[in-house]
Structure 1
Amino acid sequence: MWRKKAISMGLIAIMSVMAACGSTGDNKPAESAGGNATAPVKTNSPGETDKQVTITVWDKSPDDDVFKSVLDEIYAEFDATHPHIKVNHVASPPGTSVNEVFMTANAGGEGPDAFQNASFPDIRDWVKAGVAYDLSPYWNDYADKDQYLPSAMEQATIDGKVYGVPADMYLMGLMYRKDLYREAGLDPNSPPKDWEEFAEVSQKLTNTDKKQYGYALLGMDWADWFFEYYVWQAGGDLTTKNEDGTITLDFTKEPTVTALQYWHDLKWKYKVVQSNVAQNFDDNKQDFFQKRAAMMLGSSDMFGDFASNGVSLDDVGFSSLPVGPSGKAPSQVGGRYWIINPKSDKEKQDAAWEYIVYMNSKEVHDKLNTFRLDNGIMPNLLSPRKDVNPLEFTSNVPQDLVANVQKAAGDTQLEYALKSRLSPYIVPAIQKVLLTEKVDIAAELKDAEEKAQREVVGPYNAEIGK
């Protein structure tokens, strides 16, 4: 509850500000910028000199990125206003996930000087691993530090020190194809409200003759990312963070068992999900874009993907998640931080800070949002900055999408504590349950919890107690 209350208050505050004024892949560039906005002025940073410094940043846009043109323009503006800094924009190396690639690169001394994909739930582990530099000396002199939502800074502030600058935020919800709803005789303005209705609607949207299924379920290596929402809906969480900082595992508690039983039912009882439940998230999205999947979970910063895949926003619905047995369905809120490599030399760290300040400026955020407005792309309605109002850039998108994202922001929660370390333990149990029709769900969760307790939580709690 401590996590839920803090983040919800921050989001309600930003939505109130928006209303009065009237956020893909792992390697997605930080979303911030647009149109005719004036380029940010060069900033001063500690240790700045006239000597040109070269830094490496993993933020090169792929050629098919719909934002490539505006990002290239933003990069050029930085070059023009910061001639003493040369930025080597490169794509992150290939791998299972950008996080794994980043950690591997850092271990080999090949990590970037600045990195924008440190996720909210991971940054504390990254600080402990020594891959996130203490930004406090920069932050304390940062003119815009008070423009960031407290909820966006919560995970990056550790023992009074700041280790990350929020690049973006997002909110999760249920996305559905309005066109497929109509074809199935369903009201496109009435998405399912609870688990029972969700199963019924999913069945109506499943048509094997058309190779169409109701719901794209996430059973790949990130399965716990979406599964935790169902645990929340059942009234629990995957872990409890105690007042003394220790962690209690909740894998075997009733809400987790209930949630996993429901996932098993979606696959084996209702038969409304894809045949390959372990396919990756990009395949899920492609099924949704190509009208093979009628519903999926998606984030408030995914709307740009629809334009680049030829999907009209008029055919897309967004709603809060269906409630479970608890009668509740908080939306997960997350985001990414910019961090600086502790192994980079001081000149590179200073230059990296200047680059982060530029890319996170209101001008750059507005520039990207203007580009979205000009190209019919819905902006991410959540911004970590108080002075950035995405609602100003929504005149060309369906207003029901805007209203429903705002509604979903009223009840939110951060991901479960110690997620990055515990994922390898809970995910195999989830996958086995999805892939096996006759399975003892409670036993699988018990095995996962015992192993996670022995190898992760026990040592973690012991260290906290020192």
Structure 2
Amino acid sequence: MPVTPARRARPRTSTRSALVRLTAALAAVAAGTTGCTFSSAEAGSGDTVLTFWHYFQGAQQEWLERQVADFEADHPGVDIQLVETVGSQHVQRLLASTVTGTTPDLFINNIVVDYPTLTSAGVMLDLSPYWDDYADADQFPSSAVWRSGDAVYDLLPYNNLLGLYMNTDVAGRYGITEPPATLPELAQDLAAVTDGGDGGLALSAAPSVEGAWLFAPELLGEGIGYCNFSGPQVVDSFTRLADWARDGYVPQAAATWDQNASWQQFMTGRYAFALNGNWQLGNVGSADFGYVTAQYPAPADGSSTVYPGGEGFAIGATSEHPDLAWEFLQDEVLSRDGLLSLYEAAGSIPLRADLADSPQLADDPDVQPFVRATRSTAEWPDNTSTAEMQTALGEAVSATVSGQLGGRAAARQAVADIGQARSEGDVVGGEACS
């Protein structure tokens, strides 16, 4: 998921984020280990065991399993136990592990949503001693290194970004040969496709951060983000979404689809278009229809602008083997080979400078729209209520697609709820957003 520049000081604990989630975490402790499953990687017989918590699926999970196997082959006597968690329970379980003093040795996290909470709760180890001595540190931009004060807690080695996928078999039946570059062009294409009886646009409109992330670029391209979420552009965007739902361009069922569910719908071949991320590049190759990719369609009077995302990689604060855990990150995640293999497996865009012009990226037409998107990204708010603001937007989007709210009513709800969450968040300097 998303990313913001690494410029935070250590945030204060927010009652809407850290404390609420910590309460949920304590409940999770009482509930036991339900929701976590061990992969086959735990079946080794080594003397030293590292645990790695993740919520990867599909191509990303297969990549991680290969990296673990590679590391174990080079380190006899070391076993890495991959623990697959339920994404919605991931943070609560990390918080619970801090309470019990049993943080995993390694874990990924949804960095923009969860970083303030995880640092405030002391879940992550300070990586500064390792990063300061890391020979390739200068290959990464500052946005890849997440700091609180002088401490480095989280590393974001790649970007995930949103874009447009077009089923050329469906679109071609209506004379659509190029993916739409703007939202008005997309609306015109959707009208043609749905009038002909085919599916229009598959996307996540879930009442969560996923639905919010898919909708936000419609406003980002006009300069509207969470810190200034108001004005006629908001009303216009929700009114357009309500019209698209009413006219069948977007199915009502999308109000409950997460990104994986919406992708599965696109892969059926029934839909002409899908809004999803570059991480699906590792899966779209199995489609039995032709496809092309493009940047997220721009607003009529704006630019194609998206929030950048990706997973943070961290070491648990109570890890008994931090040196070995860092060695894994250095060799299997941060390295040229590690990031290039992730790109080849799942389409994630490496942030290493020495991979920017690699033939694998430069010669791949499907990834180029996402590479271009890295040059036109919006900055996430420096606010501990970022997750709450996203949820508020996702709820309004879902209600619009399901027909529970009209466009104007949904816009009013989103503006009010995002504003309230923003004002309750904590940031350095006491400002609501920065």
Q: TM-score normalised to the size of structure 1?
A: 0.72
Unaligned ranges ≥5, structure 1: 8-26, 28-50, 240-249
Aligned partner of 2:336 among 362, 384, 389: 362
Residue 277 of structure 2 corresponds to residue 317 of structure 1: no
Aligned match of 2:398: 431
Deviation at 1:151, TM superposition (A): 3.2
Aligned match of 1:55: 50
Supply the distance in 2 between the matched residues of 1:60 and 1:124 (Cα, whole angstroms): 19
Residue 412 of structure 2 corresponds to residue 412 of structure 1: no
Supply the distance in 1 between the matched residues of 2:167 and 2:251 (Cα, whole angstroms): 16
Give the direction of change, closer, same or farther, for the CA distance of 1:388–1:394 in structure 2 (3 Å limit). closer
Q: Within 5 Å, give how 1:63-142 maps onto structure 2.
A: 65=58, 71-83=64-76, 85-92=78-85, 94=86, 96=88, 98-107=90-99, 109-120=101-112, 122-142=114-134
What secondary structure does 2:310 align onto? strand
Give the direction of change, closer, same or farther, for the CA distance of 1:168–1:95 in structure 2 (3 Å limit). closer
CA RMSD of aligned residues (A): 3.5
Supply the distance in 2 between the matched residues of 1:123 and 1:6 (Cα, whole angstroms): 11
Q: Is the 8 A contact 1:195 1:324 kept in 2?
A: yes
Deviation at 1:213, TM superposition (A): 2.9
Give the direction of change, closer, same or farther, for the CA distance of 1:176–1:349 in structure 2 (3 Å limit). same
Residue 135 of structure 2 corresponds to residue 166 of structure 1: no
Deviations 1:403-453 (A, max 9, x none): 433433332224444322323333333333333254623432354145425
Which one-letter code corresponds to 1:75 in the other structure? V
Q: Is the 8 A contact 1:216 1:293 kept in 2?
A: no
Aligned match of 1:229: 217
Give the direction of change, closer, same or farther, for the CA distance of 1:364–1:390 in structure 2 (3 Å limit). farther
Aligned partner of 1:219 among 206, 209, 220: 206
Q: Is the 8 A contact 1:58 1:90 kept in 2?
A: yes
Aligned partner of 1:332 among 289, 307, 313: 307
Residue 205 of structure 2 corresponds to residue 238 of structure 1: no
What secondary structure does 1:138 align onto? helix
Deviations 1:14-40 (A, max 9, x none): xxxxxxxxxxxxx9xxxxxxxxxxxxx
Q: Is the 8 A contact 1:164 1:338 kept in 2?
A: yes
Deviation at 1:389, TM superposition (A): 5.1
Which one-letter code corresponds to 1:339 in the other structure? A
Give the direction of change, closer, same or farther, for the CA distance of 1:126–1:267 in structure 2 (3 Å limit). same
Q: Is the 8 A contact 2:267 2:287 kept in 1?
A: yes
Supply the distance in 1 between the matched residues of 2:137 and 2:375 (Cα, whole angstroms): 25
Supply the distance in 2 between the matched residues of 1:325 and 1:100 (Cα, whole angstroms): 41
Deviations 1:201-234 (A, max 9, x none): 1122226855x23343523322211222112123
Aligned partner of 1:284 among 257, 262, 267: 262
Supply the distance in 2 between the matched residues of 1:61 and 1:428 (Cα, whole angstroms): 25
Supply the distance in 2 between the matched residues of 1:323 and 1:164 (Cα, whole angstroms): 32
Q: Is the 8 A contact 2:140 2:351 kept in 1?
A: yes
Deviations 1:218-271 (A, max 9, x none): 2332221122211212331121xxxxxxxxxx3333333332222222212x33
- Give the percent of matched residue pairs that are identical in Structure 1 and Structure 2: 21
> Number of aligned pairs?
386
Query: Relative to total residues, which structure has the larger helix share, 1 or 2?
Result: 2
Q: Is the 8 A contact 1:169 1:334 kept in 2?
A: yes
Q: TM-score normalised to the size of structure 2?
A: 0.76
What secondary structure does 2:170 align onto? helix
Aligned partner of 1:204 among 182, 192, 203: 192
Which one-letter code corresponds to 2:175 in the other structure? G
Q: Is the 8 A contact 1:235 1:328 kept in 2?
A: no
Supply the distance in 1 between the matched residues of 2:378 and 2:183 (Cα, whole angstroms): 19
Which one-letter code corresponds to 1:444 in the other structure? Q
Which one-letter code corresponds to 2:392 in the other structure? Y
Deviations 1:114-165 (A, max 9, x none): 1123424532442123222211011111122112123323xx1232321122
Supply the distance in 1 between the matched residues of 2:172 and 2:357 (Cα, whole angstroms): 30
Supply the distance in 2 between the matched residues of 1:236 and 1:260 (Cα, whole angstroms): 13
Deviations 1:45-89 (A, max 9, x none): xxxxxx954221125987xx4577765553233123333643222
Deviation at 1:330, TM superposition (A): 1.2
Supply the distance in 1 between the matched residues of 2:64 and 2:427 (Cα, whole angstroms): 41
Supply the distance in 2 between the matched residues of 1:108 and 1:254 (Cα, whole angstroms): 49
Which one-letter code corresponds to 1:218 in the other structure? A
Supply the distance in 1 between the matched residues of 2:89 and 2:270 (Cα, whole angstroms): 25
Supply the distance in 1 between the matched residues of 2:245 and 2:418 (Cα, whole angstroms): 23
Which one-letter code corresponds to 2:114 in the other structure? D
Residue 276 of structure 2 corresponds to residue 298 of structure 1: yes
What secondary structure does 1:206 align onto? helix
Q: Is the 8 A contact 1:121 1:415 kept in 2?
A: no
Aligned match of 1:179: 169
Aligned partner of 1:274 among 245, 251, 276: 251
Which one-letter code corresponds to 1:90 in the other structure? V
Supply the distance in 1 between the matched residues of 2:92 and 2:174 (Cα, whole angstroms): 42
What secondary structure does 2:272 align onto? strand
Give the direction of change, closer, same or farther, for the CA distance of 1:284–1:70 in structure 2 (3 Å limit). closer
Residue 225 of structure 2 corresponds to residue 251 of structure 1: no
Supply the distance in 2 between the matched residues of 1:128 and 1:227 (Cα, whole angstroms): 29
Aligned match of 1:37: none
Unaligned ranges ≥5, structure 2: 8-35, 37-45
What secondary structure does 1:339 align onto? strand
Q: Is the 8 A contact 1:4 1:412 kept in 2?
A: no
Give the direction of change, closer, same or farther, for the CA distance of 1:192–1:416 in structure 2 (3 Å limit). farther
Which one-letter code corresponds to 1:180 in the other structure? V
Q: Within 5 Å, give how 1:381-460 maps onto structure 2.
A: 382-388=349-355, 391-393=358-360, 399-418=364-383, 419-434=386-401, 435-436=403-404, 438=406, 440-449=409-418, 451-452=420-421, 456-457=424-425
Which one-letter code corresponds to 1:220 in the other structure? P
Deviation at 1:181, TM superposition (A): 0.9
Deviations 1:248-298 (A, max 9, x none): xx3333333332222222212x33001212222221001110023221222
Aligned match of 2:23: none
